[in-house]
Amino acid sequence: MPKRGYHHGDLRNALVEAAIELIKEKGPTGFTLSEAAKQAGVTPAAVYRHFEGREDLIAEAARQGYEIFADLMEYAYDSGQPSDLASFEATGRAYLAFANKYPGHYVAMFESGISINRTPELAAVAQRAFAVLEKAADRLSEHIPPEMRPPPQMFSAHIWAMSHGVVELFARSAPGTKSPFPPEDLLETGIGIYLRGLGLIPPDS
């Protein structure tokens, strides 16, 4: 493959794009830096000018994924306003939509074993994404009767766990799992049952 002429910064992004494709094909531990270099059309030595190892490359893919994820979550939250309930439900759907549209990024973020604290930049953008979930839960929890109100962080953790579980088990075709229902329906009905239990949705809605 002929080497490409890269402007400053383009090679770094080309390597990340190559890694994302390899992650989708082989998983986060199923490829080498040399393979990423070959897919990007450069020599292996060129990779080491930008990344010390495969984990650094995957961490950058995760950071870029969190940037997209945070923007998507913020857009979803804003699309539901001024209804706190609609905003909360939209963030759950956005989680599933992100996993479907950006599977390579998703794996780098959640299945690669890379800590979000690996770099300050990764930690900051991950926190920005999670803060949207917490904000949505915090605003919605104000509508729950005090005696039934869980802490907002627990509230958001429940929805995050439900969204993540649907994605892992059914949206990403985990081995041996198959649902007779679309993942979107599973998530929507699951969130609906949870919110009814807290008195946020009338029983007959």
The CATH superfamily assigned to 1-51 is Homeodomain-like (1.10.10.60)
- CATH architecture, domain defined by 55-197: Orthogonal Bundle (1.10)
> One-letter amino acid identity for 27?
G
Contact 91, 133 (CB under 8 A): yes
For 122-149, what is the mean pLDDT?
87
Q: Where are the alpha helices (DSSP H) in 81-151?
A: 84-101, 103-110, 120-141
> Is a pLDDT exceeding 50 seen at residue 183?
yes
Q: What are phi and psi of 49, to 5 degrees?
A: -75, -15
**Cβ-based neighbours of 26, under 8 Å, separated by 6 or more:** none
Closest CA to 152 of 128, 130, 135, 132: 135
pLDDT tens track for 82-92: 998 888 888 88
pTM: 0.84
Closest CA to 102 of 20, 34, 179: 20
DSSP state of 4: P
For 17-38, what is the mean pLDDT?
88
Closest CA to 167 of 180, 179, 154, 153: 179
**Cβ-based neighbours of 77, under 8 Å, separated by 6 or more:** 87, 90, 91, 132, 135, 136
The per-residue pLDDT of the chain, averaged, comes to 84
Q: What are the boundaries of each domain within the chain?
A: 1-51, 55-197
> Is a pLDDT exceeding 90 seen at residue 191?
no
